[in-house]
Chains A and B, each alone.
Chain A
């Protein structure tokens, strides 16, 4: 069964701007998916339908096979957690602990369970000991982790992250990518990232959906998507830097195949050199 499915989902803002145009998207439990596309392609609009923040103008959204409606909205929002790009949008409570407890409290859980969930969520994002800290004294990377912990504490089955590495230093970005992959591998959470940072896509996704002007115009493995030149050009994106280098080498006559991550490229180059 698909954990998320949209059928002919169309969204029109204020009766004028067509942000989504007949989207048919499916995600299976445990998948690692990246939604890529330039600014304004419709990524954010699409994932705001995954947890019922926006309602479809036409078409339908099904979570675990059930159509999203007013009745199941709480269950939908518990199932699909969304981490927004700017952690300041999400974090508003005076202490980290209170903020992470916000979601579980809304679900009406008992105090013991809330305590436990907050502890576990902070452990997962490695922020144990930050419970009483004030959010405005945290770094962007730490705030991002608090935002993720706030969603994790609701024990979601799908985690949607909007531009997860935006504003992070390179070290912070690497740690966050590792954290997202761990949540997928060890907690079994389906991860969907929306981004235009193509370099992180091969590290975070086994499947890429490429969006342009409110449509999904390509769906496949990172290799398949990034090998289709016209798709990339059409959407004002570029290849990951590693792949671009491999392509340049190819043009110079070096017999290499295009690879997308540093490790793969190293192996490929070693193969050619030897």
Chain B
């Protein structure tokens, strides 16, 4: 399945109770859940029910947000290998903070699977799963521009906010630019798997494409900067984010998240 950059934000513009929650509250909710998951003890079997409860809460929010399943599967498929890659090695390693190891299996080449390593790997993976679920939920229920203005309202420095705003804006401009270049190249029969041309030549063309994007982004940067100056841009300029009030549903969402964290900590 293929999701392009322009479609990446598609889910963020749906309408649902979760989408309606204020961006600031959503950022805080995601941060709370992530910090809680990460701060759990690193070698405790009791982490699993706690993480499971948090994961179930996030899954319920995803259902409530009516996100498309194939889209979610795609986002998870991109992120999961990173966590899996780290977790899968753990059973074979001797974690420095563990003193006694119970060897479960001995494999050739001196490899040993230990019970402690297995537990540690599983906990890492569970924590990772909860973290990326929180991030995916946040990024599929709030558009990039909403996230930036919410972060600004939460007190992110204005220079950073301006950088992010422009990054979000021009990421899409350059994506469009690249797509148009690629369409024009297809028109002239370019295909990176084309066997009629030498491999090196193909690589050269890809290089040219990237370098011409660099030249264009440099020129675009100059033009944008000059037009910003024309509209009075100076070192003290800030991004206008407007005012937005926190409503009762937002407070409720935050309270619900907190109560789930408390429930996970004390009742499981």
Contact = CB atoms under 8 A, between A and B. Distances in A.
Given A92-B212, A94-B208, A102-B205, A154 B183 contact: no
Given A84-B180, A86-B180, A92-B181, A136 B215 contact: yes
Interface string A5-17: 0000000001000
A253 interface: no
Contacts of A32: none
A105 B216 contact: no
B184 interface: yes
B184 A154 contact: no
Contacts, number: 68
B190 interface: yes
Interface string B203-244: 001001101100110010000000000000000000000000
B102 interface: no
Interface size class of B (residues with CB under 8 A): 20 to 34
A105 B184 contact: no
B188 A89 contact: no
B184 A89 contact: yes
Nearest to A92: B212
A78 to B, nearest CB: 7
A74 B196 CA distance: 12
Nearest to B197: A105
A93 B44 CA distance: 58
Nearest to A48: B183
Contacts of B197: 105-106, 108
Nearest to B188: A103
A81 B187 contact: yes
A104 B219 CA distance: 30
Contacts of A267: none
A107 B181 contact: no
Contacts of B181: 89-90, 92
A53 B187 contact: yes
Given A88-B216, A108-B197, A53 B186 contact: yes
A103 B212 CA distance: 18
A74 B216 contact: no
Interface of A: 14, 48, 51, 53, 74, 77-78, 81-82, 84, 86, 88-90, 92-94, 98, 102-103, 105-108, 136, 150-151, 154
12 contacts: A53-B187, A84-B180, A88-B216, A90-B184, A92-B185, A92-B212, A94-B208, A103-B188, A106-B190, A106-B196, A106-B197, A151-B187
